């Protein structure tokens, strides 16, 4: 009996210690408890879509429809009624914006976003990355029911364990009495053994109870609840960020509309600037005539001539400043016309806002060739007049094109298309600074930045590029070509004279003759690089230019540059040879994107 009791007592002590540790660990939250806490935070404290949001959306819809009618109106007599209607809807919209902003100001959006992000971070730290799964809508309900049942099971188990401990206490007392010979009748050994077994069973169930939370179906319920709460967090974060963004948009609109609640912007400032430009242009021309007369006089008065030239420079500077002011005023009016005041175009035809709009700010009618102090660039004027000058502190080139009515329209359309594409990637395509038509000659002028000896032709003539420099320059040219091709523009005029080199590191694509069609440009006599013809074979057979024909020209330019730098060595880099074999072929040429991914350029990067 002593041996049996002793052995069972040792085991029982181990079980009691295990139960003690189990209860102490259960004082901390289990993963299920934490998940339930996070679900409570996410579900019970969520911010819903503002009540005034629907009213605001309806007000915006009414205002947008009023603007659409005004923009499509062709009858000048109906414009004022449409303007009044638009103003009425705008006032209603501003009222709805105020109501919306007041409601949103009372919402703790910032605190809620921080709380959601905190919960999200804790959840993902415990569970890892979130995968997109199809989770049942009842996942929270299943989890809460499961958690309630687990809680009840835990309580029942604790009660059973407490009862077992009481039984153990009674049993131990009986054992003590047996050893003290105080029991009225001896207790058989098997009774002690059965009592110990019953207590051990209760303890074992108590110890295993918590670990069962992580098994089988329970894990699936917790996983579904986890993904569902993450989905709730992401949806509410998206809603709250959308509310914030809507606030910013409406605040900006309100600020811009406060001064125009019951009126339409005027063009008085623009007309005043135009009047100043006209006056300054007349003054400039008159002073230039006076200076010419002084220079042609028999008795030269040098001090007077210098004084007159200073006056001319001062007047020209004032004129250019006013032209810059005119551009800024046009930009303001065009922004208004594109936005909330489309009536500006038909109401003020004398302002010619539509020309500035359609050319996206490129066409400047106040410019003229004779207001510039320009120097001819004789060495580059074999094909068309080129002059070098300064405009608003920048060195520029004016490139003249002879135009008629048809080519003038084509030039404006193609220049605007090029200008739009260049604006997307300004550092890899030569920018057009301005376009204007001569008032005293049948020429159209393109204003471009001046790059001294910057063409690839000039660089190779003066100081040829090294192999590594060639790769960087041609990569830049390809990036520029990629930008044009993305805008559905075929250059059709790529040659060493209109690929430019900046600091021997970057290549940029130059402009082309906007008065010609791509077919006319492609067959121009300038499409050569040394003795290499840059016209693709299919073009010589009468097919129209395509991005693929541009790639053939690029390949020819790279071959020409490679020949220039390797005349003494009579070989070209093997990677460059491989690339050229994929560009200067009849069919199956690489696209710009494929060429940029070629091993030749990849080796340069590394």
C-alpha–C-alpha distance, residues 258 and 303, integer Å? 56
474 touches 539 (CB < 8 A): no
- Say if 102 falls within a structural domain: no
Domain shared by 230 and 273, yes or no: no
Same domain, 246 and 383: no
- Asked whether the predicted pLDDT for residue 95 surpasses 80, the reply is yes
| Final residue of a structural domain among 450, 468, 492 | 450
In order of 234, 321, 393, 409, 433, the CA distances from 437 in angstroms are: 56, 20, 22, 11, 14
pLDDT for res 265? 87
Return the C-alpha torsion angle 354, 359, 365, 368, nearest 10: -170
Q: What residues form DSSP beta bridges with 558?
A: none
Asked, for residue 458, whether it belongs to a domain, the answer is yes
How many Cα neighbours within 13 Å face the side chain of 249? 10
Report whether 580 contacts 589 (CB < 8 A). no
At 539-558, the pLDDT tens digits run 999 999 999 999 999 999 99
Q: Which contacts of 59-62 are long-range, i.e. CB under 8 A and separated by 24 or more positions?
A: 59/89, 59/92, 59/93, 59/95, 59/96, 59/97, 60/93, 60/96, 62/89, 62/92, 62/93
416 and 432, same domain (yes or no): yes
Does a structural domain hold residue 90? no
User: Where among 197, 225, 257 does a domain terminate?
Assistant: 257
In this structure, are residues 562 and 456 in contact, taking their beta carbons and an 8 Å threshold? no
Cβ contact 198:164 at 8 Å: yes
CATH number at residue 375: 3.30.200.20
Determine if the pTM surpasses 0.85: no
Per-residue model confidence (pLDDT) at position 205: 55
Do 440 and 498 fall within a single domain? Answer: no
Ranges of beta strands (E only) in 283-356 are none
> Measuring CA to CA, which residue among 438, 431, 313, 311 is closest to residue 366?
438
289 backbone dihedrals φ, ψ, rounded to 5°: -65, -45
* 333 and 376 part of one domain: no
User: If you ran DSSP here, which 8-state letter would residue 107 be given?
Assistant: S
Query: Over 80: is that where the pLDDT of 216 sits?
Result: no
CATH number of the domain within which 531 lies: 1.10.510.10
Last residue of a domain, one of 219, 234, 257: 257
pLDDT band at 206 (very low <50, low <70, confident <90, very high): low
Half-sphere exposure of 398 (CA within 13 A, CB side): 24
User: Are both 464 and 410 inside the same structural domain?
Assistant: no
**Domain shared by 540 and 605, yes or no:** yes
pLDDT tens digits along 569-601: 456 778 888 999 999 999 899 999 999 999 999
In a domain, 516, yes or no: yes
Diameter over CA atoms, the chain: 155
**pLDDT exceeds 60 at position 568:** no
Residues 6 or more apart whose CB falls under 8 angstroms from that of 258 comprise none
Q: Which residue has the tokens 């070209």?
A: 572
Q: Per-residue confidence at 26, pLDDT binned at 50, 70, 90?
A: low
Does 457 lie in the same domain as 407? no
89 within domain boundaries: no
CA atoms within 13 A of residue 195's CA, in its CB half-sphere: 21
Q: Are residues 37 and 183 in the same domain?
A: yes
Residue 460 tokens read as 């190779």
CB 431 within 8 A of CB 422: yes
d(C-alpha 41, C-alpha 35), whole Å: 10
Do 281 and 403 lie in one domain? The reply is: no
Query: Do 460 and 363 sit in the same domain of this protein?
Result: no
**Domain tally, the chain:** 4
Instruction: Specify which residues 455 forms β-bridges with.
Output: 500
pLDDT of amino acid 569: 43
Mean pLDDT over each residue of the chain, to the nearest integer: 83
pLDDT score recorded for residue 511? 93
* 145-166 average pLDDT score: 62
- Grouping H, G, I as helix, E, B as strand and the rest as coil, residue 395 is strand
Cα 433 to the center of its chain, rounded Å: 25
Can you give 25-74 as a three-state secondary structure string?
HCCCCCHHHHHHHHHHHHHHCCCCCCCCHHHHHHHHHHHHHHHHHHHHCC
> Which residues does residue 328 pair with via DSSP β-bridges, in sequence order?
none
Model confidence over 320-341: pLDDT tens digits? 999 999 999 999 999 999 999 9
Given a contact cutoff of 8 angstroms between Cβ atoms, the answer to whether 527 and 535 are in contact is yes
What residue numbers bound the domain in which 320 lies?
A: 268-357
pLDDT at 464 over 80: yes
pLDDT at 426: 84
Cβ atoms of 532 and 560 within 8 Å: the answer is: yes
- Condensed to tens digits (0 to 9), the pLDDT of residues 58-71 reads 999 999 999 999 99
In a domain? residue 597: yes
Give domain status of residue 82, yes or no: no
More confident residue, 248 or 17: 248
* Cβ-contact 334, 326 below 8 angstroms: no
Is residue 353 included in any domain, yes or no? yes
Q: What would the mean pLDDT of 126-146 be, rounded to a whole number?
A: 54
Q: For the chain, give me the number of helices (H) and strands (E)? A: 21, 9
Residue holding tokens 């914006």? 97
pLDDT at residue number 326: 96
- Do residue 23 and residue 163 come from a single domain? yes
Q: How far is CA 134 from CA 142, 194, 223, 231, in A?
A: 15, 52, 12, 11
How many other C-beta atoms are found inside a 10 Å radius of the C-beta of residue 80?
12
Residue 13 neighbours by CB distance under 10 Å = 10
């Amino acid at each position: 009996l002593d041996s049996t009791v002793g052995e069972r007592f040792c085991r029982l002590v181990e079980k009691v210690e295990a139960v003690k540790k189990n209860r102490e660990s259960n004082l901390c939250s289990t993963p299920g408890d934490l998940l339930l806490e996070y679900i409570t935070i996410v579900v019970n404290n969520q911010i819903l879509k503002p009540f005034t949001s629907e009213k605001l959306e309806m007000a915006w819809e009414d205002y947008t429809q009023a603007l659409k009618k005004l923009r499509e109106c062709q009858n000048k007599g109906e414009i004022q009624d449409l303007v009044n209607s638009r103003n009425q809807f705008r006032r209603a919209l501003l009222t709805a914006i105020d109501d919306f902003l007041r409601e949103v100001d009372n919402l703790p959006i910032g605190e809620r976003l921080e709380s959601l992000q905190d919960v999200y971070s804790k959840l993902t730290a415990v569970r890892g990355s979130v995968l997109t799964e199809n989770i049942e809508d009842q996942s929270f309900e299943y989890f809460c029911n499961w958690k309630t049942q687990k809680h009840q099971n835990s309580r029942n188990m604790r009660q059973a364990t407490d009862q077992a401990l009481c039984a153990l206490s009674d049993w131990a007392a009986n054992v003590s009495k047996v050893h003290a010979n105080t029991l009225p009748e001896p207790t058989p050994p098997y009774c002690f053994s059965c009592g110990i077994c019953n207590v051990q069973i209760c303890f074992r169930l108590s110890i295993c109870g918590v670990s069962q939370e992580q098994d089988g179906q329970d894990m699936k319920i917790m996983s579904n609840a986890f993904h569902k709460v993450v989905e709730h967090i992401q949806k509410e974060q998206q809603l709250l960020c959308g509310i914030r963004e809507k606030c910013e948009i409406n605040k900006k609109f309100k600020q811009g509309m406060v001064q125009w609640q019951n009126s339409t912007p005027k063009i008085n400032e623009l007309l005043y600037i135009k009047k100043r430009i006209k006056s300054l242009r007349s003054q400039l021309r008159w002073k230039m005539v006076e200076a010419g007369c002084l220079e042609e006089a028999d008795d030269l008065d040098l001090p007077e001539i210098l004084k007159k030239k200073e006056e001319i420079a001062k007047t020209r500077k004032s004129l250019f400043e006013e032209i810059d002011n005119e551009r800024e005023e046009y930009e303001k009016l065009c922004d208004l016309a594109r936005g909330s005041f489309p009536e500006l175009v038909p109401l003020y035809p004398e302002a010619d806002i539509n020309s500035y709009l359609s050319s996206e700010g490129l066409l400047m009618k106040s410019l003229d060739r004779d207001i510039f102090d320009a120097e001819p660039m004789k060495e580059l004027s074999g094909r068309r007049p080129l002059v070098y000058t300064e405009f608003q502190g920048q060195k520029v080139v004016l490139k003249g094109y002879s135009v008629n009515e048809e080519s003038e329209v084509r030039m404006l359309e193609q220049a605007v298309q090029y200008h739009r594409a260049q604006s997307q990637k300004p550092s890899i395509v030569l920018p057009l600074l301005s376009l204007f038509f001569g008032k005293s000659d049948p020429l159209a002028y393109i204003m471009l930045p001046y790059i001294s000896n910057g063409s690839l032709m000039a660089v190779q003539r003066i100081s040829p590029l090294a192999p590594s420099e060639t790769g960087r320059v041609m990569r830049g040219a390809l990036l520029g070509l990629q930008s044009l091709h993305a805008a559905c523009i075929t250059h059709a005029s790529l040659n060493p004279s209109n690929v430019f080199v900046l600091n021997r590191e970057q290549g940029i694509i130059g402009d082309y003759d906007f008065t010609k069609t791509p077919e006319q440009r492609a067959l121009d006599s300038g499409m050569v690089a040394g003795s290499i013809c840059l016209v693709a074979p299919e073009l010589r057979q009468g097919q129209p230019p395509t991005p693929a024909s541009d790639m053939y020209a690029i390949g020819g330019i790279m071959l020409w540059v490679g020949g220039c730098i390797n005349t003494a060595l009579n070989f070209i880099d093997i990677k460059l040879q491989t690339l050229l074999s994929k560009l200067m072929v009849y069919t199956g040429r690489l696209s710009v994107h494929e060429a940029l991914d070629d091993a030749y350029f990849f080796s340069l990067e590394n």
